[in-house]
Homo-oligomer: A and B are copies of this chain.
Amino acid sequence: MSADFHFSITATDGAARAGIFSTPHGKIKTPVFMPVGTQATVKAVTVEQLNEIGVQIILANTYHLYLRPGSDVIQRMGGLHKFTNWKKPILTDSGGFQVFSLGDMRSVTDEGVIFRSHIDGSSHEFTPEKAIRIQEELGADIIMAFDECAVPDDRSYIEMAMERTHRWAKECIQTKRREDQALFGIVQGGIFPDLREQSAKFISSLNFPGYAIGGLSVGESKEEMFRSIEIVNAVLPTEKPRYLMGVGTPYDLIEGIRRGVDMFDCVLPTRLARHHAAQTLKGRENLLKSENISNPEPIDISCGCYTCRNYSRAYLRHLINVNEMLASTLLSIHNIFTLTELVRNIRKSILENRFESYVNSILKGLSA
């Protein structure tokens, strides 16, 4: 790991860990939830609103930014931090997950993936080298190895994709040039315990500054997901940060942290917001329902977010009902706050050696 990056574990409680990950744009207290800013903005919120929530790091998507406005444009504008005015750490994914999600619009070879843009059908190719170059142009603090995220049921395909992911991981390390970016490796292997173990061992052997667990939360059962996390984390070095990709319900955050995960990202809080749903530690709730028409209470009386401190359910319901953009903003703020505050409180419980009692009290009230 270059001098710009340093991970230290401050406290553990069972397998749960509280740490600090230092990056060129500041320290991240882990465990951490990272909101997703797919197209160089977390949808419907400003960087000031993210700062007020206490967001420490945001994610941006390489596939989307490569297509629009182009990673070359963002590089010329001074990189993602300058472009977006977000001064804290940023993580970019490798584009792998998105291009593999294109289905019929892409074909995979051992060299990479040829795909058509979902916007205009134009043809493009991502290789491990290309994915790293694009991420170097974007300029995030943490960048991801190019991997193949395969669906969880076909063992022979999963195995082939895993081996390809391993070869590509080495290519990513070889091609990487910037010293101010930390490249994380990604463990694949689907829901197969032996493949997960094999992948965790191989990826660990490449000595990345951090490790991600990919290919989960893609249709497998909760039991399969949690078992896979356990298998992988038993192999990954304890002294490096661990990132569970694409996971972001309160339940999954708790169960991930319980198994030693340090970082999470998910589009869920902002996506739910745009669909009128509030996430609380009791579950999800569509605010458009008519009981809210004259309800002067906030979404959650115990929530300290800007939205709950200032707005009634009646106002939020009205904004949703008349299709005002402010509804998405206020609900996104609440939903991101819910996950950020949960993880902040979990971190505190780890530092105070009361993780189990804290998360069990949360799990008791949780329905989604």
Residues of A bordering B, CB below 8 Å:
39-41, 43-46, 64, 68-69, 73, 76-78, 83-85, 293-294, 296, 310-312, 314-315, 317-319, 321-322, 324-326, 328-329
Q: Which residues of B contact A326 (CB under 8 A)?
A: 41, 43-46
* Distance, CA A43 to CA B294, complexed state (A): 22
Most buried by B among A43, A294, A318: A318
The 5 closest A-B pairs by CB, nearest first: A69-B318, A85-B310, A44-B325, A41-B326, A39-B322
Q: How far is the CA of A311 from the CA of B310 in the complex (A)?
A: 28
Report Cα–Cα, A46/B48, bound state, in Å. Answer: 12
A324 B293 Cβ-Cβ under 8 A: no
Describe A's contact surface by its main secondary structure: loop
Q: Is A77 touching B314 in the complex (CB atoms < 8 A)?
A: yes
5 residue pairs of the A-B complex, CB under 8 angstroms, read A41-B326, A43-B325, A43-B326, A69-B321, A73-B293
Quick check: A77 and B312 within 8 Å, CB to CB?
yes
Q: How far is the CA of A315 from the CA of B79 in the complex (A)?
A: 11
Residues of B within 8 A of A83 (CB): 312, 314-315
Collect the chain B residues with CB atoms within 8 Å of residue A78's CB.
296
Q: A324 — which chain B residues lie within 8 A by C-beta?
A: 39, 41, 43
CA distance A44 to B326 in the complex (A): 5
Q: How far is the CB of A284 from chain B (nearest CB, A)?
A: 21
The reply to whether A311 and B85 form a contact with Cβ atoms under 8 Å apart is yes
| Residue from the list B46, B68, B296, B322 in contact with A321, Cβ < 8 A | B68
Residues of B within 8 A of A319 (CB): 39-41
Question: Is there contact, CB below 8 Å, between B315 and A40?
Answer: yes
| Cα–Cα, bound, A296→B328 (Å) | 29
* Other A-B pairs, 6, CB within 8 Å; known A40-B319, A83-B312: A39-B318, A40-B315, A44-B325, A77-B312, A83-B314, A325-B325
Nearest-CB distance from A361 to chain B (Å)? 32
**Bound form: Cα–Cα A45–B325 in Å:** 8
The residues of B that contact A310 with a CB separation of less than 8 Å are: 85
In angstroms, Cα B313 to Cα A132, docked, is: 27
CA distance A40 to B319 in the complex (A): 8
